Amino acid sequence: MKKTFPILGALTAILLGYALYEALVAAPTEQTMGDVQRIFYYHVPSAWTAFTLFLINFVASILYLVRRHPAADIVALVSAEVGVVFCTVVLVTGPIWARPVWGIWWAPGDIRLTSTLVLWLIYVSYLMLRRFSSSGQTPTLAAALAVLGALCVPFVYFSIWFFRTQHPQPVIGGGGSIDPRMLHVLLLNWLAFSCFAFLVCWSRYRLESLQREVDQAHAMESLMDLRGSAR
Amino acid sequence: MRNGYLFAAYAATWIIHIVYLGTIVSRYSRLKREIEDLKKPGVRS
């Protein structure tokens, strides 16, 4: 276990480096947008990784609501936290791409952009609830909020199918098309980001489990103190 | 100039990830100190 993490970390770093090289150097340059299109190789895989993490959060939250298993609660918390980080990347890289291509940073009222921002806000509120509420019911309330947040994910993804939007059509399963070499680089970056997200979730899971053990030890210690002073 | 946007997007991505990894490392260090305090007999944090 102790050796697996550094090995996987080194392999992921190599994969991320190779995916970066493929995105910046090996991928063909898009004719209309030029090099700025290469932002797509970070923007889209980050969005897919965020959606996957929110899906994991949804499954873990349902499991927690049904079985009340603490491990499911930790998985839900960790996946939401890392998912918010990836969703932040999406919300930052999107406007940086839009400025030279659309001429504006943000298209107000655009359904894809607005729904992604709302999705991010839902999961940020989920994390705030987890962070600042000390009630024993917090994991249950958070799990219920996570279920509602997860309903937003398919809406964000399919919004460009059902509404008029400035956002480009999806390259997979939608109306958009893509050069096979570009698709290869896109999938490679998705794989690299998925491995990276898995490792971050793993280390965060270990940290959270340890934190809960320490909190329990503190609680036990306080109880012992109380019993000691009562005698 | 257009390459500036490309650089900004890639740099922003890694800055966001590195800042988040930094928070994990700092939380881990804090936890390690708490565990050491718990191991010391008679010390209350």
Q: Measured between CB atoms, does B39 come within 8 Å of chain A?
A: no
Between A18 and A152, residue with greater pLDDT: A18
Find chain B residues with C-beta within 8 A of A200's C-beta: 20-21, 24
User: pLDDT (tens digit, 9 = 90+) per residue, A112-171?
Assistant: 999 999 999 999 999 999 999 888 889 899 999 999 889 889 888 888 877 777 787 766
Q: Which two tokens stand for residue A222?
A: 């306080």
* Partner residue facing B38 (CB), from A100, A217, A225: A217
Measure the CA–CA gap between A122 and A163, rounded to whole angstroms: 22
ipTM: 0.89
Residue extents of the structural domains in chain A? 4-204
- The answer to whether the CB atoms of A35 and B3 lie below 8 A apart is yes
Structure tokens at A132: 């600042």
Tens-digit pLDDT profile for residues B2-12: 689 999 999 99
Distance CA A201, CA A53 (A): 9
- Nearest C-alpha in A relative to B21: A200
Q: Where are the alpha helices (DSSP H) in chain A?
A: 4-21, 40-67, 70-102, 111-132, 138-162, 180-230
Query: Which of A24, A34, A207 faces B27 most closely, judged by CB atoms?
Result: A207
Q: Say whether B9 and A97 touch across the interface (CB within 8 A).
A: yes
B6 contacts chain A (CB < 8 A): yes
pLDDT at residue B2, rounded to an integer: 62
CA distances from A43 to A61, A107, A134 (A): 27, 17, 36
d(CA B13, CA B4): 14
Which numeric CATH code is attached to A4-204? 1.20.120
Partner-chain contact A100 B2, CB within 8 Å: yes
C-alpha distances (whole Å) from A222 to each of A159, A219, B31 are 52, 5, 18
Predicted confidence (pLDDT) per residue in A32-68, tens digit = 888 999 999 999 999 999 999 999 999 999 999 999 9
- Rounded CA-CA distance A71/A76 in Å is 9
If one compares A73 and A157, the residue with the highest pLDDT of the two is A73
